[in-house]
Amino acid sequence: MQIEIKFNLNGEDVSIMTDPVRRLLDVLREDFKLTGVKEGCSEGECGACVVFVNDILVNSCMVPMANVINKKVMSIEGFKQTKEFEVIEKGFLEAGAVQCGFCTPGMIMATENLLRNISNPSVEEIKEGLSGNICRCTGYQTIIEAVQLTVKDGGELWKSNLTSL
Amino acid sequence: MEVKSYIPIDLEDCLGELGNENYWLFAGGTDLMIRKRQWHGASRKFVRPVMFINDLKELNGIESDDDYIYIKACNSLAEVYENDEAPEILKKAIVSMANPEIRNMATIGGNVANAAKVGDTLPVLFLLDARVELRSKNEKRIRKISDFIKGKYQTDLRKGELLYQIIIPKKEYDINMFYKVGSRQGDTLSKLSVSCTMNIENNFVNDFRVAFGAINNKSIRDRYIEEKLINKSVSEAEGLIYTVLNGYQDLLYGDNDKRSTKRYREETAIKILHKFLKEALNEK
Ligand SMILES: Cc1cc2nc3c(=O)[nH]c(=O)nc-3n(C[C@H](O)[C@H](O)[C@H](O)COP(=O)(O)OP(=O)(O)OC[C@H]3O[C@@H](n4cnc5c(N)ncnc54)[C@H](O)[C@@H]3O)c2cc1C
Ligand code: FES
Ligand code: FES
């Protein structure tokens, strides 16, 4: 069944004809060519596909289009335009937390989500905050360091609890 | 074949339509999207029509009065966790579940209605004496959670009905514990869980509750065994610890499955309860 579904994607109002049971992940990758959103496990465990829907971090492989009607979706491509992204990216590069890079968009989005909630997280809080993201090459220690570096260099950004988009 | 979808505009519209076809209710989708994995691209595996209820205003929000807290079915686990009035022990169960992204999507109503053996909110809701309110076009029923859950993936939900809200009596629990044995953070489906609360006043046990999850097909709660300790002095209660443990031992019917073995489940559950009782009774 095809219906018209309207939503806001990375700041722009969009509308598509599609099946409401189709996964947001497929719409983003196939219809909008937003390939920074990755498909890893397809079952909510790896976090490669995460996006913000109305500022709430979710796995786009689990979200049917019916659940984004009239909502605001932000993928890594949209988040890239923010100051927060720059700071997190720098943290990840400096810590050497990227090898193949497949998990990185998800790790960056989860880091943003974590820092929105806790601007100066402990190691335990970082582990919990990133517990929905799996990396199979870098190792978690450097990723934790990347988050710590991010906080050290630009932690002020999250204290106001606002994103710049 | 593409399946029919229905996106109701409000609860009245939803209940009106629900009786007309054998709809699959879709809330957060974290159980359904996995069961219907072949959803990639097409939606062939969905043989029944789907109705989307996650965003219905009437199924979201948490209210309370002097006696009860009312949690609407489509609150996400994260929303329940963040609510000031939600019972502490329920919050402990919620943070043990899945990962932050899943907790943002998974609804409490979906966890209950799915009635999985490993559903982590279930034993806690048994312990809290929760009730569920079910609604259909012309009827509203309230059932004890322990009657609503009939077994593994089995509930008393009737055709044309949905789970509207979960009703939890307000009560303070002085000591409360949710202990879950799983294997991996981020995807921790229970091998077993033990939920316990105890209230002690003037050296007397005035309330004691236990529920075991993920061992039998349905969560275990037994008021008769709990009452052995109620209104007993702390020292009398200490003398009854083994009577209580033996009582529960007889109720556990764990299976061997891919997550664990029967013996491991039963022994571990009893050990966890034993530790709780020793600590709770010695603490005062
Ligand atoms: C990676 C991962 C980890 C997980 N870890 C855990 C865990 O640790 N512990 C745990 O308990 N669960 C876990 N789960 C399972 C799942 O997240 C929960 O069971 C969730 O609460 C289900 O809610 P939902 O809204 O996503 O349900 P849905 O998938 O939308 O629905 C589930 C079932 O309930 C029915 N339903 C939903 N809402 C209603 C309603 N209001 N009235 C009647 N029927 C309804 C649906 O028809 C369906 O049959 C995990 C899932 C994933 C993907
Ligand atoms: S692809 Fe969505 S969580 Fe792995
Ligand atoms: S860098 Fe390869 S999966 Fe994380």
Q: Domain residues of chain A, as ranges? A: 3-75, 83-164
Using the predicted structure, report yes or no on whether residue B33 has a pLDDT greater than 90. Answer: no
Q: Cβ distance A80 to A87 under 8 Å?
A: no
B57 token code pair: 């205003």
d(CA A122, CA A88): 17
A137 lines ligand 3 (CB under 6 A): yes
Q: Is A144 on the interface with B (CB under 8 A)?
A: no
Q: How confident is the model at residue A164, as a pLDDT?
A: 46
Annotation: CATH topology of A83-164: DNA polymerase; domain 1 (1.10.150)
Query: What residues contact A77, with CB distance under 8 A and at least 6 apart?
Result: A10, A34, A36
> What does the pLDDT look like over B124-164, one tens digit per residue?
999 999 999 999 999 999 999 999 999 999 999 999 999 99
pLDDT digits (tens, 9 = 90+) for B185-235: 555 677 899 999 999 999 999 999 999 999 999 999 999 999 999 999 999
User: Which pLDDT score is estimated for B257?
Assistant: 74
Q: What is the CATH number of domain A3-75?
A: 3.10.20.30
Ligand 1 atom nearest B162 alpha carbon: 42
Here the tokens at position B150 are 């009939």
- Supply the pTM of this predicted model: 0.95
Do A75 and A82 form a contact (C-beta atoms < 8 A)?
no
Tokens 């006043």, located at residue:
B201
Residue B207 host element (H or E): strand B204-213
Strand order in the sheet with B5-6: B5-6, B50-52, B24-26
CA–CA separation, B62 and A138 (whole Å): 42
Q: Which helix (H) or strand (E) holds B102?
A: helix B100-105
Q: How confident is the model at residue B260 (pLDDT cuts 50, 70, 90)?
A: confident
Please tell me the residue having the least CA distance from ligand 3 atom 4: A135
Check for a shared fold between A3-75 and A83-164.
no
Averaged confidence pLDDT in chain B: 92
Give chain A's mean pLDDT. 94
Rounded to 10 degrees, the C-alpha dihedral A9/A74/B59/B97 comes to 150
Phi, psi of A158 (to 5 degrees): -90, -10
Instruction: Residue B196: name the closest of B221, B219, B178, B180 by CA.
Output: B178
Instruction: Tell me how far apart the alpha carbons of residues A61 and A47 are, in angstroms, rounded to a whole number.
Output: 9
pLDDT band at residue B68 using 50, 70 and 90 as cut-offs: very high
Q: What structural domains and CATH numbers belong to chain B?
A: 5-169 (3.30.465.10), 175-283 (3.30.390.50)
Show the tokens assigned to B116: 């999985």
Q: Quote the minimal CA–CA distance from A88 to chain B in Å.
A: 19
Confidence of residue B42 (pLDDT cuts 50, 70, 90): very low
State which ligand 2 atom lies nearest to the alpha carbon of A60. Answer: 2
Residues 6+ apart with CB under 8 A from B249: B266, B270
> Which of A23, A42, A45 is opposite residue B186, by nearest beta carbon?
A45
**N-term to C-term CA, chain B:** 64
Which residues does A163 contact at the CB level (< 8 Å), separation at least 6?
A: A82, A84, A112, A116
Q: Which residues, 6+ apart, have CB-to-CB distance to B201 below 8 Å?
A: none
Tokens of B10: 């409000």
| Residues 70 through 109 of chain A touching chain B, CB cutoff 8 Å | none
CA A88 to chain centre: 12
Q: What is the pLDDT of residue B41?
A: 47
What are the residues whose beta carbons fall under 8 Å from the beta carbon of A24, sequence distance 6 or more? Answer: A51, A53, A60, A63, A64, A65, A67, A68, A73
Q: Which residues have C-beta atoms less than 6 Å from ligand 1?
A: A 43-45; B 24-32, 34, 53, 73, 97-98, 102, 105-107, 109-111, 113-114, 118-120, 157, 162-163, 187-189
Whole-angstrom distance, CA of residue B243 vs CA of residue B225: 9
Question: What are the two backbone dihedrals, phi and then psi, of residue A14, each rounded to the nearest 5 degrees?
Answer: -130, 165
Cβ of A136 closer than 6 Å to ligand 3, yes or no, is yes
Distances (CA, A) of B181 to B189, B194, B217: 9, 9, 17
Query: What distance in Å separates residue A107's CA from the closest CA in chain B?
Result: 12
Tokens coding A33: 């060519």
Residues 6+ apart with CB under 8 A from A105: A36, A37, A38, A48, A50, A76
Residue with the bigger pLDDT between B185 and A67: it is A67
Contact status, residue B215 vs residue B119, Cβ threshold 8 Å:
no
